Amino acid sequence: MTSSEPAFVFGQRLREKYPQPLTFLKCLSCGTENSRPFKEGDYIFGMVDSEKCPKCGGTSSKIVNIYVPEKKETR
């Protein structure tokens, strides 16, 4: 294989076909759960100190779930 173009095109097609995963965070200060788009490096029970809680402003959260929403079929 001399070129990486087919892999890029293939990866682009996959990205369009599947919905983006969501990461669910639980604030360790107030217990509020919120979601955000998945970021590379996210894992269940991982600690996140770089984002503020939308309710209390706390800066420590734990990843409690990573979820890929089902793609709705249109006919």
For the domain that residue 41 is a member of, what is the CATH number?
2.20.28
| 13 membership: H or E segment, kind and range | helix 5-17
Residue 51, domain member (yes or no):
yes
Identify the pLDDT of residue 45. Answer: 95
Domain assignment of residue 23, yes or no: yes
Query: Which of 9-13, 15-19, 28-32 has the lowest average pLDDT?
Result: 9-13
Answer whether residue 7 is part of any domain: no
pTM, to two decimals: 0.68
Q: How far is CA 60 from CA 41, 44, 56, 66, in A?
A: 17, 15, 11, 18
Give me the domain span that covers residue 34. 19-67
State residue 9's pLDDT score.
52
The pLDDT value recorded for residue 1 is: 46
1 located within any domain: no
What pLDDT sits at residue 4?
A: 45
The pLDDT tens digits for 27-75 are: 999 999 999 999 999 999 999 998 999 999 999 999 999 999 887 766 6
Q: How many domains does the chain have?
A: 1
